[in-house]
Amino acid sequence: MSAAVPIHVVAALHDVPPSAALKAGLTREILWAVGLTSEPPNPTTWSALMTETTTDEPVDTSATGTAVTTWLADFQGALAARDIDAAAALFVDDCYWRDLVAFTWNIVTVEGVEGVRDMLGKTLDQVQPHDFAITDELGEAGGPTESWIKFETSVGRGLGHLRLRDGKAWTLLTTLNDLKGHEEPKRDRRPKGTEHGVVPNRQTWLEQRRREAQELGHVTQPYAVIVGGGQGGIALGARLRQLGVPTIIVDRNRRPGDAWRNRYKSLTLHDPVWYDHLPYIDFPPNWPVFSPKDKIADWLEMYTRVMELNYWDSTECKRAVYDKASNEWTVVVERDSVEMTLRPKQLVLATGMSGKPSLPNFDGMDVFTGDQHHSSEHPGPDAYRGKKAVVIGSNNSAHDICAALWEAGADVTMIQRSSTHVSKSDSLMELGLGGLYSESAIAAGMTTQKADLTFASIPYRLLHVFQIPVYDAIHERDADFYARLEKAGFMLDFGEDNSGLFMKYLRRGSGYYIDVGASELVANGDIKLESGVDVVRLTEKAVVLSNGKTLPADLVVYATGYGSMNGWAADLISPEVAAKVGKCWGLGSNTAKDPGPWEGELRNMWKPTQQEALWFHGGNLHQSRHYSLYLALQLKARMEGIPTPVYGLQEVHHLS
C-alpha cells in the first residue's frame, strides 16, 4: 500500500470489502491504488478510468436512475426543508464536495460531513438550490453509482457530477454554468448580425466595432482590465465579451501572440491539441498534435480579432491603486508612449501561471564576458553554433534549449542541481491523457466540456491516488529509457509520493520535463550533464561548479524558473497588497515548494482574493479555457449587482 494515500481514504475503503466496493462504484484500479487488492490494473483500463464512458460495456442506466435519482430527491427535499443535518447525512464520512462558484461564489472543496454542514449552513438561504436532476447533456456517466447532474440556484443554472458509495455521496461537483437573464448569446440566442429593413443612419458591424474601440477607455470606462494578453487574458477576455462585460486587455507586446512568438524558435506546446482548445473555437481537425510556438501565436492573434476583443497591444501597465471609497481601480498605462488612466471596477492579473523570472545571484555574474540570460529571454540557438553553452536547470525549458543548441552545433552542458521528473510524451498521452483528451476519446463520445468536468470532478485531495498507478505504468513501460538516463547520471524522480508530473505541476509548477527528444541526447551523452552540483561562481569565461570542475562558456542560460504571481502585484500595486494576497499556485500539500497547510484548491487562482476586486488568472491552455468561465461569471455577477457573498475566502499562510 502506498504511504502517500491519505489515511482517511484508506481507512474508509478498508471498511468495505473489495467485492462490495466494486459494486459501490469504486473501480478495481482505485482499490489497487490504495492497496486493497493485489491485482494490478491494466494500464489502458486505468487511463480510461478518468472517463469510464469509453468502455464498450453498456451502462445500466436504470440502476443509475434509481440510485442517483433517489439520492437527488432526498437531497433536494432536505435542502427545501432547510434541514442541513438531513442533507449532510446523505454524504459518507470521507466525502468531498467541490464547488465552482455555484454555491460559494468561490472555488472551494469542503471535506467530510462537517465541511458539508458548514458550507450549507452559510450558503443555503442565499443560494436556494432546486430542480436537481440527472442530465443527459454530457452523456452517460461511468456506472450505476455516478451521474452527471443539473440544478438551478436563485440566480443561475448549474452542472455537476455525483459519485455514490453505499447510497451516499462520496464526491460531488457543482459548477455554475450561466446566470439567469444574462446568458451568453449563443445557439438560439446568437445575434443576427444585421437589422433587416430600412434603418436611417444605419451603422454597419465594422462601424460599431470601430466606435466601441475609439470610445472604450476614453469616453467610457471598462468594467474590467486584464493585465496580460497571453492565452489566459485572451480566453478570459472572450468569456467576458460574450457576457457583455466591457473589458480591455493590455499587453506590452506589439501583437497578440507575441508572448509565444518571441520565445526561442524551437519551442512547441508539450500538451496535445485536444487538451489546448480555447473557448468557443476549437482548433481545426488538421491542427498539429503539438503546436509550434509561431502557429499558436498566429492562432491567438486571429482569435482576438474574430472574438472582437478590445486588445491594447504595445501597452504597459505602470501602476494600479484601489480606492475603497469609490470601489474602483486607478490603472495607469502607457500606450504609444503616452500615459493614460483607466478606472475599472475589477483588475485581473493574467500574467501566466508563474510570476517574474527567477534569476540566481551567483558570484561573478557581473564579470562574465559571454552572453547570459534567463530562459524566458533566450533568442534561440542560431548565434551559438560552435560555441560552448552552459544551461543551468533541468526542467522543460532547459531541455528544450539544450536540444536546440545541440541541433545548431553548440557544445552544450546541462547543470542539474536537483532531481527532475521525466515522462515520455507518447506514454503521457496514451496513459495519462488518452481517456479524456485524444482522438480515440472523441470517437468514444468525449467532448472538451465533458473532459474538463470529468477532470474537475476528482477532488485534489484524491487526485494523486488516481495519478500514482498512471506513473507506475509509465515507469514500467519505459523502464529501459529511465535506466539509461540514470546511468548517464541524471537524477530522476516521480514526485515525493510517486504521483508524477501533473501533481508536481499543481503543487509547485516546476520540477518536470515532458520528453520530446532531449532526454535521449542526455542519455547518450550528446548533451553533457553535471548533476548533483551547484554553481559556485562565474569567471570571465567559465562556470565553476561545486564539484571543482570549471566549464568554459560563451553562453550561460538560467533556466531557473519563476516566482509567485503575486510578484507582479508587488510591482504594479504595492508590496503590501502582494503580502495581503499571499502566495499564488500550489495546494498546500506540504511537499517541496508547496508548503502546508492543506488548501484544497490552487491558491488565489480564478477566485476572490484578500484584496477586493483583484483577481489572478493563469495556467496552461486547458486551465485558461475551463476556469475562465467561472472567473467571468463572478465578474459578470458583480457588474450586474447580483449578491455574491463569498464562502471560504482563502486565508494567507505564505507570502511567496
- Is the same domain home to 348 and 260? yes
Q: Which three cell numbers stand for residue 519?
A: 532526454
**Cβ–Cβ under 8 Å, residues 414 and 522:** yes
**Cβ–Cβ under 8 Å, residues 238 and 629:** no
- Is the same domain home to 284 and 402? no
Q: How far is residue 498's CA from residue 421's CA, in Å, rounded to a whole number?
A: 10
Q: How far is residue 25's CA from residue 37's CA, in Å, rounded to a whole number?
A: 15
Q: Is residue 589 part of a domain?
A: yes
- Is the same domain home to 350 and 381? no
Q: Is residue 99 part of a domain?
A: no
- Is the same domain home to 512 and 428? yes
Sheet holding 247-250, edge to edge: 311-312, 247-250, 224-227, 346-349, 614-616
User: pTM of this prediction?
Assistant: 0.90
**Residue numbers of the chain with a pLDDT score lower than 70:** 1-65, 141-143, 353-355
Say what the pLDDT of residue 142 is.
63
- Is the same domain home to 480 and 619? no
Say what the pLDDT of residue 353 is.
62
In three-state secondary structure terms, 229 is coil
Q: Is residue 160 part of a domain?
A: no
- Is the same domain home to 543 and 593? no
In three-state secondary structure terms, 100 is strand
In three-state secondary structure terms, 509 is coil
Q: How far is residue 290's CA from residue 624's CA, in Å, rounded to a whole number?
A: 17
- Is the same domain home to 459 and 526? yes
In three-state secondary structure terms, 482 is helix
In three-state secondary structure terms, 409 is coil
Q: Is residue 655 part of a domain?
A: no
Strands (E), 166-314: 168-179, 224-227, 247-250, 311-312
Q: Is residue 5 part of a domain?
A: no
Last residue of a domain, one of 502, 532, 558: 558
Q: Which three cell numbers stand for residue 271?
A: 500538451
- Is the same domain home to 253 and 328? yes
Q: Name the domain count of the chain.
A: 2
- Is the same domain home to 263 and 385? no
- From its phi and psi, is residue 53 left (phi > 0), alpha (psi between -120 and 50) or beta? alpha
Q: Is residue 173 part of a domain?
A: no
- Can you give the residue range of the structural domain that contains 414? 371-558
Phi/psi of residue 347, nearest 5 degrees: -125, 125
The distance of Cα 71 from the centroid of its chain, to the nearest Å, equals 32
**Cβ–Cβ under 8 Å, residues 137 and 177:** no
Q: How far is residue 315's CA from residue 405's CA, in Å, rounded to a whole number?
A: 33
Phi/psi of residue 543, nearest 5 degrees: -115, 125
- Is the same domain home to 319 and 377? no
Q: How far is residue 620's CA from residue 618's CA, in Å, rounded to a whole number?
A: 7
**Cβ–Cβ under 8 Å, residues 259 and 269:** no
- Is the same domain home to 402 and 530? yes
CATH code of residue 323: 3.50.50.60
**Cβ–Cβ under 8 Å, residues 445 and 139:** yes
Residues 6+ apart with CB under 8 A from 181: none
Strands (E), 353-470: 371-374, 388-392, 411-416, 421-424
What is the largest distance, in Å, between two alpha-carbon atoms of the chain? Answer: 84
- Is the same domain home to 474 and 602? no
Q: Is residue 415 part of a domain?
A: yes
Q: How far is residue 417's CA from residue 280's CA, in Å, rounded to a whole number?
A: 42
3-state secondary structure 504-557: HHHHHCCCEEEECCHHHHHHCCCCEEEECCCEEEECCCEEEECCCCEEECCEEE
Q: Is residue 335 part of a domain?
A: yes
Residue in this structure with the C-alpha cell 482548433, named with its chain if needed? 283
**Cβ–Cβ under 8 Å, residues 32 and 416:** no
